[in-house]
């Protein structure tokens, strides 16, 4: 989704803004642009498409300046085009913006009446003209306060001013924004990741705050322009290298990294010597928790759905799972003894953050399970449980999904143990299984060659279905989501028992159907469901675990067997062939796997 960079320095900033925009590419975008100040002029270069094209355009124009702002845009108001790309400039200011200005239509009409002319279809352009208008009557700081009060919606802003050759304004409401500190220069970024190549000293703006950044000074203000102090955080420099190595796409690298992800996470949470799960700084008494509410979006929501089965099996807690975009607008009856758990790879998903904010305002117990520990969701939660995956760049979430499931599973077992529900023997057994999970994931990754052969059928299919029961049902949803978002194939995930209640009508000769049937409690039932689709012409790809027992069904098109582990951990292993299936189907169709159309990595607008 949209990304912001700003630099004020003694040296030319163009190349470094481009470098930071490249870092933000992973968020998903459709156009890009830069504005700098030089010789008292605002210079803009923008284009539809990739930062690479922007770089080519810039090399033709010789754009220069010691202060500048850059942006990658994911279209909301107005189609992706050069004209709609940010920055948007008036005669005197240039603006980059993440988020949505909800009252832009009204503001635009008012500004048009005053004679301002609009070039784009964006909501952002109103900000440029509004700032210009207020600056005619007021000083810079008052202008910012007044403009921010006029704007409805959620946003992060970066603004430069024609007559201020060393000053960037940043402002935050709803969308994240970070300030970075360098030697004789300072930075603005929509996340710390954009600034990592330049600094590891970061401060974050909170909602309603704005900042004034000069090359030798950074000042922060609340919404009434009262000066405030901010902590400077030192971010770790030792993130895993963020390049593709020998891989063609980040996604395939990230899928293959999953054994390491699991190992890192297990090492962080399991004390191998004492054979126990450690969750440090748990801020509540375990007896004060009698239910959990799990909240997330997309893949993170699927991780929550699986966790519901775990919590129900291993604890006595009531469990509710909710999609964040629904939760935030429902009339929730908050309960003091509930633990509200927010699952988010990026930690910046607007809906998940809003759901957390509501819980915070209602003084609930909040815990977040995130990959980005510096994120807004992590910073605003009482307990943060990192998934320790390292950066996930491919838009489709893969290793983070396994990491989310793993931390949810560990939390569930820990609560079960502390509440004395799981026996010591069973708890030790589970820990033993967890210690073997990384290795089994590694072995399961070998399904690669078999899947590659099958993906032609999927790539040419009009649509397909993923069926599961129990733990495998949320994995069926996840498999379908991966195929949709990467290979643009209509795919439905369904609880296999629901087929007769409608979806069976979709089955026709040759339709690929993925049946997830590990040898668990649901095995016999799902084999019957599988036969029902086979007899209606479906081409069934069965995914199960290795067993001495033969599969009691005929006419299965293909079977993939994953390694064996305890039933409740099989979701980790059966996910892998589904990730590979989506990957190879998209590859077969020649799509840009790391940047699927219309999607963004960090969904910072609702
Ligand atoms: C799908 C995918 C998305 C994200 C969702 C939530 O592959 O990546 O569905 O899971 O946008 O994102 P986070 O986890 O960052 O809150």
Smallest CA-to-CA distance from 17 within 47, 53, 54 is with 54
Q: Are residues 207 and 291 in the same domain?
A: no
Residue 141 annotated to the active site: no
In this structure, is residue 108 part of a structural domain? Answer: yes
Alpha-carbon span 560 to 506, nearest angstrom: 24
Q: Residues with Cβ < 8 Å from 67, sequence gap 6 or more?
A: 7, 8, 9, 13, 36, 37, 160, 165, 166, 167, 168
Computed over every residue of the chain, the mean pLDDT equals 93
User: Cα of 494 to ligand 1 centre, how many Å?
Assistant: 20
In this structure, is residue 333 part of a structural domain? Answer: yes
pLDDT of residue 36: 97
Tokens encoding 499: 């087929």
pLDDT at 241 over 60: no
Tokens encoding 15: 């190349």
pLDDT of residue 212: 98
pLDDT of residue 237: 60
When pLDDT is averaged across residues 442-458 and rounded to a whole number, the result is 91
Domain coverage including residue 498:
447-589
pLDDT of residue 28: 73
Atom of ligand 1 nearest to the CA of 401: 10
Indicate whether residue 297 lines ligand 1 (CB < 6 A).
Answer: yes
Atom of ligand 1 nearest to the CA of 297: 6
Q: Are residues 113 and 180 in the same domain?
A: yes
Q: What is the residue whose two structure tokens read 């980059």?
A: 96
Q: Which of 28, 255, 297, 477 to mutate to test the pocket of ligand 1 (most atoms within 8 A of CB)?
A: 297
When pLDDT is averaged across residues 221-234 and rounded to a whole number, the result is 93
pLDDT at 243 over 80: no
The CATH number given to whatever domain includes residue 72 is: 3.60.20.10
Q: Are residues 327 and 404 in the same domain?
A: yes
Cβ atoms < 10 Å from Cβ of 361: 9
Instruction: List pLDDT tens digits, range 404-425.
Output: 999 999 999 999 999 999 999 9
pLDDT at 552 over 80: no
Cβ atoms < 10 Å from Cβ of 62: 9
578 vs 24: which has the higher pLDDT: 578
In this structure, is residue 152 part of a structural domain? Answer: yes
The CATH number given to whatever domain includes residue 415 is: 3.40.50.10490
In this structure, is residue 241 part of a structural domain? Answer: no
User: Per the residue annotation, which of 196, 399, 430, 601 is the catalytic one?
Assistant: 601
Q: 38 to each of 19, 45, 65, 129, how far by Cα in Å? A: 20, 13, 5, 21
- The secondary element (H helix, E strand) that includes residue 105 is helix 104-113
When pLDDT is averaged across residues 346-375 and rounded to a whole number, the result is 94
- Beta strand 210-214 pairing with 164-173: antiparallel
In this structure, is residue 225 part of a structural domain? Answer: yes
Q: Which of 1, 603, 604 to mutate to test the pocket of ligand 1 (most atoms within 8 A of CB)?
A: 603
- Beta bridge pairs of residue 101: 153
In this structure, is residue 485 part of a structural domain? Answer: yes
Q: Are residues 88 and 117 in the same domain?
A: yes
**Cβ proximity of 488 and 538 under 8 Å:** no
**Please, which pLDDT band fits residue 303 given cuts at 50, 70 and 90?**
very high
Q: Are residues 488 and 543 in the same domain?
A: yes
User: Cα of 282 to ligand 1 centre, how many Å?
Assistant: 26
Q: Are residues 388 and 489 in the same domain?
A: no
User: Cα of 175 to ligand 1 centre, how many Å?
Assistant: 16
pLDDT of residue 476: 98
Q: Are residues 77 and 200 in the same domain?
A: yes
pLDDT at 239 over 60: no
Across the beta sheet with 539-545, the strand order is 490-495, 463-468, 512-516, 539-545, 558-562
User: Cα of 300 to ligand 1 centre, how many Å?
Assistant: 6
Q: Are residues 335 and 219 in the same domain?
A: no
Q: Are residues 142 and 170 in the same domain?
A: yes
DSSP letter assigned to residue 31: E
Q: Which of 193, 349, 398, 485 to mutate to test the pocket of ligand 1 (most atoms within 8 A of CB)?
A: 349
Instruction: List pLDDT tens digits, range 476-517.
Output: 999 999 999 999 999 999 999 999 999 999 999 999 999 999
Indicate whether residue 299 lines ligand 1 (CB < 6 A).
Answer: yes
Instruction: List pLDDT tens digits, range 143-163.
Output: 999 999 999 988 999 999 999
pTM for this model (two decimals): 0.79
Indicate whether residue 604 lines ligand 1 (CB < 6 A).
Answer: no
Q: What is the residue whose two structure tokens read 């790809």?
A: 541
Evaluated on CA atoms 407, 413, 417, 420, the torsion sign reads positive
Indicate whether residue 413 lines ligand 1 (CB < 6 A).
Answer: no
pLDDT of residue 249: 94
DSSP letter assigned to residue 86: S
In this structure, is residue 358 part of a structural domain? Answer: yes
What is the number of structural domains in the chain?
3
Q: Are residues 277 and 146 in the same domain?
A: no
Alpha-carbon span 538 to 3, nearest angstrom: 44
Radius of gyration for the alpha carbons in the chain, expressed in angstroms and rounded: 26
User: Cα of 325 to ligand 1 centre, how many Å?
Assistant: 13
Q: Are residues 88 and 33 in the same domain?
A: yes
Instruction: List pLDDT tens digits, range 163-191.
Output: 999 999 999 997 889 999 999 999 999 88
Indicate whether residue 368 lines ligand 1 (CB < 6 A).
Answer: no
pLDDT of residue 240: 46
pLDDT of residue 503: 92
Atom of ligand 1 nearest to the CA of 377: 16
Residue 464 annotated to the active site: no
Q: Are residues 192 and 55 in the same domain?
A: yes
In this structure, is residue 92 part of a structural domain? Answer: yes
pLDDT of residue 345: 96
């Amino acid at each position: 989704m949209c990304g912001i960079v700003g630099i004020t320095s003694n040296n030319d900033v163009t190349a470094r803004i481009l470098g930071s925009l490249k870092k933000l590419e992973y968020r998903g975008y459709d156009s890009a642009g830069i504005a700098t100040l030089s010789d008292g002029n605002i210079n803009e270069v923008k284009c539809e498409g990739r930062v690479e094209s922007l770089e080519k355009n810039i090399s033709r124009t010789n754009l220069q300046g010691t202060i500048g702002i850059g942006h990658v845009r994911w279209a909301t108001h107005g189609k992706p085009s050069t004209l709609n790309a940010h920055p948007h400039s008036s005669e005197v200011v240039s603006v980059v913006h993440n988020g949505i200005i909800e009252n832009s239509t009204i503001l635009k009409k008012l500004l048009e009446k005053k004679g301002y002319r609009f070039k784009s279809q964006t909501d952002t352009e109103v900000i440029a003209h509004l700032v210009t208008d207020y600056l005619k009557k007021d000083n810079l700081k008052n202008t910012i306060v007044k403009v921010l009060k006029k704007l409805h919606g959620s946003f992060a802003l970066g603004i430069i001013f024609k007559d201020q050759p060393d000053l960037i304004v940043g402002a935050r409401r709803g969308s994240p924004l970070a300030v970075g500190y360098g030697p004789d220069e300072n930075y603005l970024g929509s996340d710390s990741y954009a600034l990592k190549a330049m600094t590891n000293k970061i401060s974050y703006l909170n909602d309603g705050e704005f900042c004034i950044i000069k090359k030798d000074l950074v000042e922060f203000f609340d919404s009434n322009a009262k000066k405030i102090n901010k902590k400077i955080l030192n971010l770790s420099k030792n993130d895993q290298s963020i390049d593709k190595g020998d891989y063609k796409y980040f996604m395939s690298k990230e899928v293959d990294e999953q054994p390491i992800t699991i190992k890192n996470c297990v090492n962080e949470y399991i004390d191998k010597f004492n054979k126990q799960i450690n969750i440090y700084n748990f801020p509540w008494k375990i007896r004060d928790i009698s239910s959990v509410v799990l909240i997330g979006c997309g893949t993170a929501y699927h991780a929550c759905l699986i966790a519901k089965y775990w919590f129900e099996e291993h604890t006595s807690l009531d469990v509710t799972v909710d999609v964040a975009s629904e939760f935030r607008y429902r009339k929730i009856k908050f309960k003091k003894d509930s633990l509200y758990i927010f699952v988010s790879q990026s930690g910046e998903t607007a809906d998940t953050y809003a759901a957390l904010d509501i819980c915070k305002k209602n003084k609930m117990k909040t815990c977040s399970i995130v990959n980005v520990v510096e994120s807004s969701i992590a910073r605003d939660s009482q307990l943060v449980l990192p998934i320790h995956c390292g950066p996930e760049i491919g838009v489709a979430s893969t290793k983070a999904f396994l990491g989310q499931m793993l931390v949810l599973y560990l939390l569930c077992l820990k609560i079960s143990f502390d509440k004395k529900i799981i026996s010591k023997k069973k708890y030790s057994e589970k820990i033993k299984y967890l210690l073997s999970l990384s290795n089994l994931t590694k072995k399961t990754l070998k399904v690669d060659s078999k899947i590659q052969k099958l993906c032609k059928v999927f790539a040419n299919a009009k649509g397909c279905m993923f069926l599961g029961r129990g733990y495998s049902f949320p994995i069926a949803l996840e498999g379908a989501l991966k195929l949709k978002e990467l290979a643009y194939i209509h795919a439905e995930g369904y609880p296999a028992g629901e087929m007769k209640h409608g979806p069976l009508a979709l089955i026709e000769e040759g339709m690929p159907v993925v049946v997830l049937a590990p040898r668990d409690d649901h095995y016999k039932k799902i084999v019957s469901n599988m036969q029902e689709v086979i007899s209606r012409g479906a081409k069934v790809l069965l995914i199960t675990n290795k067993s001495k027992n033969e599969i009691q069904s005929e006419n299965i098109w293909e079977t993939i067997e994953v390694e064996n582990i305890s039933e409740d951990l099989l979701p980790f292993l059966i996910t892998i062939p589904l990730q590979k299936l989506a990957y190879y189907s998209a590859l077969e169709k020649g799509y840009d796997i790391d940047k699927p159309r219309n999607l963004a990595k960090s969904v910072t607008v609702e």
